[in-house]
Amino acid sequence: MNSTRTPANLVIRGGTVVRPGQPPRIADIVVNDGMIREVVDQAPADQDAMTVDATGLHIFPGVIDLHSHLGAGNGLQEYETETGAAALGGVTTIFNILADAGEYAPTVAEHLEAAGRTAKIDFGLHLTLMSKEHLQELPKLKEEFGIHAYKYFMSFRGDEGKYLGVEGTDDGKMFEIFATVAANNALLFVHAENPEIVWALRDRLQAEGRTDLAAWDDARPPFAEAEAVRRVAYFAQSLGTRVYLVHISTSDSIEQIKHSRAEFPDLSLAVETCPHYLTHTRDYAGRILGKVNPPLRKAEHRDALWQAVSDGVVDTVASDHVSRKRSTKEGTIWTASAGFPGSPTIMPSLITHGHLERGLPLERIAELTSRRPAELLGLSSIKGDIAPGLDADLALVDLSSERTADPEWLGTNSDYSLPGDEPLRGWARHVFVRGIEVVRDHAVVAEPGTGNYVRRTPAEGA
């Protein structure tokens, strides 16, 4: 070794390093100034460095959760509570999707100030596009805040977006949004759903007196998602828009995605699913607590999604995290709030139900949760892998240790979790963000404000 090299700040010894696309191997990780300096079979002794014995642990690149809704349950305080909870599941970077009917610059500034003071892991922002004024802001938002990803709700037709103070969308607005995002070399997250089908079925089911969780699925059937996916692909191909389909939940949609990719070789279409579509169905015992958009589906859709995760049709697994309280789920299936917490359980769900139950390779989990998210947002030069020159975002996971997603332990705003009392494996025993210790022995030790804002460069391609 070169004796003149800069001393390490952190050495993690003897863990099984899990890198995307590579067989796991036992190695030491040397960190200097928050960046990985080297990954070697055996690092030399360094008395000045913090040393962590990772024997028996698997070291994953930190999870990059591309899809959350922080603030929907308890305002800006969630940048502290929810980032701490996410860290306990091995998440080291989280992206929050904002929705505001007015000008975005003041809202972005407010969120960045709050997150900068309180976040315990790195964070970023995406913005929901709903008006011509939003489209006019895109160059400013890119220049001033480094924002290169936006969201569009196909379901905001009629009065569906009224709670946000926005007029319903139509195909003309969809065209303008797709075209403007393409012109700005940005990435468009799309909630694909045909709401007009939903309205007709909803009215029929309500007239029949249906209030069970399965009724929510019957009101938003798989073909309402799949038909919208097909239209998204055609718009994207025609306008050159890079699209990221969020929370895909059905086998019907998977078939349309495969068909579209085959028909349009130049189509830039990335696909996300969420842990709950891989682990729960419309028969969920928690009933109304499982209300979410899109709905929990029948078991055959869950099984098809696992196959799509395994064979590469699905690019990422992200949470769609909302820190709802149990009280917001009161009422009927038609009036209860949709959504639930999910960021802390991305990794444990994939390890428990994917790796341990279905044989999903650990390196595939690292690709789904870290490398591919980094690629899509143009972050591969700083995050997404365990390699020299990248941020030391590391989750040291014990595959044999079981815990439940207990809200009190997680410290989340929510007072329940979808898995409930189900024990999950794959929780992070220790977590580092840019070499800073954030979780130690399953407890958050990071101070508020540890997290940094992640400015993006134009995405490397979906």
Q: What is the reported pTM?
A: 0.96
Q: Collapsing DSSP states into helix, strand and coil, what is residue 106?
A: helix
Q: pLDDT tens, 243-266?
A: 999 999 999 999 999 999 999 999
pLDDT over 60 (residue 417): yes
The two beta strands, 122-128 and 149-153, are parallel
Q: pLDDT tens, 331-386?
A: 999 999 999 999 999 999 999 999 999 999 999 999 999 999 999 999 999 999 99
**pLDDT tier for residue 6 given thresholds of 50, 70 and 90:** low
**Start-to-end Cα distance in the chain:** 40
The pLDDT of residue 161 = 74
**pLDDT tier for residue 7 given thresholds of 50, 70 and 90:** low
pLDDT over 60 (residue 459): no
**pLDDT tier for residue 461 given thresholds of 50, 70 and 90:** very low
Q: pLDDT tens, 83-130?
A: 999 999 999 999 999 999 999 999 999 999 999 999 999 999 999 999
Q: How many CA atoms lie within 13 A of 252 on its CB side?
A: 15
* Strands annotated E in 251-380: 269-273, 316-317
Sign of CA dihedral 398, 402, 406, 409: negative
Whether residue 106 is preceded by a cis peptide bond, meaning omega within 30 degrees of 0, is: no
User: What integer is the mean pLDDT of 133-145?
Assistant: 95
At which residue do the structure tokens 């729960």 appear? Answer: 280
The pLDDT of residue 166 = 72
Report CA-CA distances (Å) from 117 to 78, 107, 172, 254, 453.
12, 16, 40, 41, 11
- Angle among Cα 192, 102, 114 to the nearest 5 degrees reads 90
Nearest to 402 by CA among 427, 430, 425: 425
Q: pLDDT tens, 163-179?
A: 777 778 899 999 999 99
**pLDDT tier for residue 456 given thresholds of 50, 70 and 90:** confident
What integer best gives the mean pLDDT of the chain? 94
| Element at 123 (helix H, strand E) | strand 122-128
